[in-house]
């Protein structure tokens, strides 16, 4: 099997497809979180002003949520890559030997 | 209370000297391990994911964001927190899109990745120039900002501050290369996170460790200022979208950040380093607004403005109030160390673009001995160091805040589209990449000049020709469109062949440097 046959194999193509599909889904979630937040603080300031606790506004909670949410997204990516992507890579590396 | 801010402070000088001695000892040991090009630029690829995560955080958390954002929150409240969020969201994007393929395809610079399957000469010059422009803008902003901050905190003359930053930073980079620079970043990141944590804990202790109490005090003290709600920062959604794009994708085109991914052994460690970096940076931006709000209550807006109209001294003044002169000294020394570390990282990135991308790869066509490469690398470090200090002094007192926006806009519009498309798109060609870098970079620069920040604030015209503060929403898509159109018009079969050949390396990491 030549290197070209290998990269043209269904299994390799599946690895590439899975990798980018997952990445773009994660990027889309990041966009929704960040720009959703920006949309609220720019266009719907009254939503950000809702009180959710004693002198704690929804805006403050959302701001914290965007930071924590971005962090969690990177952790999800690491867990996914360790458990899904790396397993596929290992299996492909075995085929190559 | 009488503030000692702006006067020579014994504790600050003591802490600063301690930090410099510690980092120079590390540089001494690093210098022994820095003989080859790979050691000089990539620390021999021996850095772990955790260490690199701290170093990335060190490269990214500048003194300007520590002092600037806490000051912005102290003076304008919630808007400062919105601004802080924007600085974090690039990190997940960096993880999803380029961290791993970058590590697998690159050698010392991001231009290696773009050039790996295209005609090396033209594309290296274009990406090296794009990279250098970003680093230069960023460096001028850092040098001018830092000279002013050091003046405010230590009462030291501006020029002397610039020269001290230049000389100490040169010692790290010149002798210890990437290994020393990495450790300087790690020490600085640990000190900064520790300092900010102590400051936050001391501040919250004044409010019985209740954030709700802190906000109550803020509202009680400034009932008319609407401190807890979004105000004037986000006016036009398109402007905010544009700034968001520049911050998010600019990170993916910053040469000194991208360069760090070549210091780890493999893609798995690259991935880990982004996760650690996001953790530290996220924590940093989460607690910085608390420092700002506490400063607004405990010190008051007027006294903060009296020290510095921009609010930059809110955090140091709070440190002095809560921990006395010794703690102020510590925070000032940390801020100084922060500046040193960031400038060191920028200098190394500039040197790699000048010597590895332009001199060795273009002039010497890759034929240079190890000794010659390291020698040229060191020479370019000295040249860039002198240029940085000279520009810092030249731009003294100028309004250079727009340069950070420009650096991110060029990074997002010139470097990122070419880099990303060359990783992901088979039909990308040399011409497509070169024209994409040129059009994206040029469009971003021209629109910034025509924008209110330069056209009105600096050139003194009545109204801006381009109404937005950041051009990324136009210049970044333009760079993508140009890359795609030109590539389709100038097919390059060899580049497509090489793209296929590189796939095993890109996705499996087999054959990576």
pLDDT band (50, 70, 90) for residue B512: confident
Number of other CB atoms surrounding residue B366 within 10 Å: 9
- Terminal C-alpha separation, chain B: 58
Q: Which of residues 10-49 of A touch B (CB under 8 A)?
A: 12, 15-16, 19-20, 23-24, 26-27, 30, 34-35, 37-39, 41-43, 45, 48-49
Q: Do B91 and A75 touch (CB under 8 A)?
A: no
**Residue A19 is nearest to which of B237, B271, B507, comparing CB atoms?**
B507
Quote the tokens at residue B498. Answer: 């090489």
Q: Flag whether residue B220 sits within 8 Å of chain A, measured between CB atoms.
A: no
CA distance B19 to B39: 24
Contact by Cβ (8 Å): B273, B52 = yes
Q: For B435-486, what is the HEC assignment?
A: HHHHHHHHHHHHHHHHCHHHHHCCCCCCCCCCCCCCCHHHHHHHHHHHHHHH
- pLDDT band of B286, cuts 50, 70, 90: very high
Query: Residue A86 and residue B219: Cβ atoms within 8 Å?
Result: no
Which of B89, B230, B272 is nearest residue A45 as measured by Cβ atoms? B230
Contact yes or no for B108/B366 (Cβ under 8 A): no
Q: Is the pTM for the entire model greater than 0.90? A: yes
Q: How confident is the model at residue B2 (pLDDT cuts 50, 70, 90)?
A: low
Q: What is the pLDDT of residue B231?
A: 77
Cβ contact A15:B507 at 8 Å: yes
Give mean pLDDT, residues B138-152: 84
Contacts of B424 in chain A (CB under 8 A): 20
Q: How far apart are CA B9 and CA B147, in angstroms?
A: 17
pLDDT tens column, B450-481: 988 888 888 888 888 998 888 999 999 999 99
**Alpha-carbon distance A52 to nearest alpha carbon in chain B (angstroms):** 11
Q: Is the pLDDT of residue B397 over 80?
A: no
State how far the Cα of B69 lies from the Cα of B310, in Å rounded to an integer: 10
Mean pLDDT, chain B, rounded, equals 90
Residues 68-87 of A with CB under 8 A from B: 68, 70-71, 73-75, 77-78, 81-82, 86
On chain B, the residues whose CB falls within 8 A of the CB of A96 are 504, 508, 510
Looking at residue B296, its pLDDT comes to 94
Question: Is A51's Cβ below 8 Å from some Cβ in B?
Answer: no
Confidence at residue B98, expressed as pLDDT on a 0 to 100 scale: 94
Q: Which of these ranges, B125-134, B237-246, B343-352, has the smallest mean pLDDT?
A: B237-246
Q: Which of A88, A92, A80, A86 is nearest to A25 (CA)?
A: A80
Least CB-CB distance to A30: which of B92, B275, B509? Answer: B92
User: In a 3-state reduction of DSSP, which class is residue A52?
Assistant: strand
Q: If one looks up domain B10-397 in CATH, what number appears?
A: 1.20.1730.10
> How buried is residue B11: exposed, middle or buried, by Cβ count under 10 Å (0-12/13-18/19+)?
middle
- The beta-carbon neighbor of A38 closest among B93, B234, B510 is B234
Q: Is the pLDDT of residue B158 over 80?
A: yes
Q: Is the pLDDT of residue B1 over 60?
A: no
**Two tokens at B58?**
């060190």
B212/A56 CB distance under 8 A: yes
The answer on pLDDT for B106 being more than 70 is yes
B274: which chain A residues are within 8 Å (Cβ-Cβ)?
Answer: 74
Question: What is the pLDDT at residue B67?
Answer: 87
Q: Give how far A30 is from chain B: nearest CA, Å.
A: 8
Nearest CA to CA, how far is B177 from chain A (Å)?
30
Q: What average pLDDT does range B155-167 have in this prediction?
A: 89
pLDDT at A1 over 60: yes
| Chains A & B: contacts with CB separation below 8 Å | 137
Q: What is the pLDDT of residues B212-266, one digit of tens each?
A: 899 999 989 998 888 888 876 777 778 888 888 999 999 999 999 999 999 999 9
Please report the pLDDT score of residue B237 as a whole number: 75
Average pLDDT over every residue of B96-114: 92
H helix runs in B206-251, sequence order: 211-221, 237-250
Query: What are the CA-CA distances from residue B50 to residues A20, B181, B268, B277 (Å)?
Result: 25, 16, 12, 8
Question: DSSP strand E in chain A: where?
Answer: 51-53, 56-57
> In angstroms, rounded to a whole number, what is the distance separating the alpha carbons of residues B161 and B181?
20
The span from the CA of B64 to the CA of B173, in Å, is: 22
The whole-angstrom distance between A45's CA and the closest CA on chain B is 7
Q: CA Rg, chain A, in Å?
A: 21
Neighbouring-strand partners of residue A53: A56
CB contact B416 to A (< 8 Å): no
pLDDT of B496 over the 70 cut: yes
What is the per-residue pLDDT for A87?
A: 93
Distance CA B439, CA B427 (A): 19
Average pLDDT over residues B489-496: 92
Mean pLDDT over B406-411 rounds to: 92
CA A89 to chain centre: 20
Best probe of the B interface among A11, A34, A51, by most B CBs < 10 A, is: A34
Chain A touched by B240 (CB under 8 Å): yes
């Amino acid at each position: 099997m030549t290197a070209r046959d290998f990269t043209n194999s269904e299994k390799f193509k599946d690895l590439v497809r899975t990798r980018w599909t997952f990445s773009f889904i994660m990027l889309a979630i990041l966009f929704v979180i960040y720009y959703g937040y920006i949309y609220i603080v720019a266009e719907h300031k009254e939503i950000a002003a809702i009180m959710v606790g004693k002198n704690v506004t929804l805006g403050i909670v959302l701001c914290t949520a965007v930071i924590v949410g971005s962090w969690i997204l990177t952790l999800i990516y690491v867990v996914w890559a360790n458990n899904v992507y790396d397993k596929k890579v290992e299996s492909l590396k075995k085929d190559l030997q | 209370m009488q503030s000692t801010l702006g006067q020579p402070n014994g504790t600050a000088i003591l802490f600063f000297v301690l930090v410099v001695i510690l980092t120079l000892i590390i540089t001494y040991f690093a210098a022994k391990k820095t003989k080859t090009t790979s050691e000089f630029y990539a620390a021999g690829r021996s850095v772990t994911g955790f260490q690199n995560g701290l170093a990335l955080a060190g490269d990214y958390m500048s003194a300007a964001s520590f002092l600037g954002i806490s000051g912005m929150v102290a003076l304008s409240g919630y808007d400062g927190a919105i601004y802080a969020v924007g600085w974090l969201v690039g990190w997940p994007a960096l993880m999803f899109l380029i961290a791993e393929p970058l590590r697998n395809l690159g050698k010392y610079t991001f231009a290696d990745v773009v050039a790996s399957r295209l005609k090396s000469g033209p594309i290296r010059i274009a990406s090296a120039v794009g990279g250098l422009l970003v680093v230069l803008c960023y460096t001028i902003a850092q040098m001018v900002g830092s000279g002013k901050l050091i003046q405010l905190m230590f009462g030291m003359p501006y020029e002397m501050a610039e020269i001290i930053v230049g000389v100490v930073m040169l010692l790290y980079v010149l002798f210890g290369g990437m290994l020393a620079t990495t450790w300087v970043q790690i020490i600085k990141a640990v000190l900064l996170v520790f300092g900010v944590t102590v400051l936050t804990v001391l501040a919250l202790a004044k409010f019985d460790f209740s954030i709700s109490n802190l906000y109550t005090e803020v509202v009680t003290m400034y009932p008319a200022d609407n401190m807890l709600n979004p105000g004037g920062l986000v006016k036009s959604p398109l402007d905010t979208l544009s700034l968001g794009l520049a911050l998010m994708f600019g990170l993916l085109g910053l040469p000194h950040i991208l360069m760090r991914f070549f210091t780890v052994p493999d893609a798995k460690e690259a991935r880990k380093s982004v996760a650690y970096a996001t953790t530290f940076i996220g924590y940093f931006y989460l607690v910085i607004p608390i420092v700002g709000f506490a400063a607004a209550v405990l010190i008051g807006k007027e006294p903060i403005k009296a020290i510095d109209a921009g609010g930059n001294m809110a955090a140091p003044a709070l440190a002095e109030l809560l921990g006395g002169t010794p703690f102020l000294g510590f925070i000032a020394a940390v801020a100084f160390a922060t500046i040193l570390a960031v400038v060191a990282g920028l200098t190394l990135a500039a040197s790699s673009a000048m010597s590895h991308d332009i001199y060795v790869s273009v002039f010497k066509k890759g034929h240079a001995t190890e000794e010659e490469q390291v020698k040229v690398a060191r020479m370019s470090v000295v040249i860039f160091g002198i240029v940085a200090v000279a520009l810092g002094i030249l731009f003294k007192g100028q309004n250079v805040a727009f340069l950070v926006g420009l650096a991110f806009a060029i990074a997002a519009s010139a470097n990122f589209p070419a880099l990303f498309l060359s990783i992901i798109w088979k039909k990308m060609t040399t011409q497509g990449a070169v024209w994409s870098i040129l059009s994206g970079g040029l469009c971003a620069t021209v629109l910034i000049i025509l924008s209110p920040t330069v056209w009105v604030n600096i050139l003194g015209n009545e109204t801006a020709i381009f109404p937005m503060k950041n051009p990324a929403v136009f210049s970044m898509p333009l760079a993508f469109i140009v890359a795609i159109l030109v590539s389709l018009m100038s097919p390059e079969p060899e580049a497509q062949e090489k793209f296929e050949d590189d796939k095993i390396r890109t996705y499996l990491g087999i054959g990576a440097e």
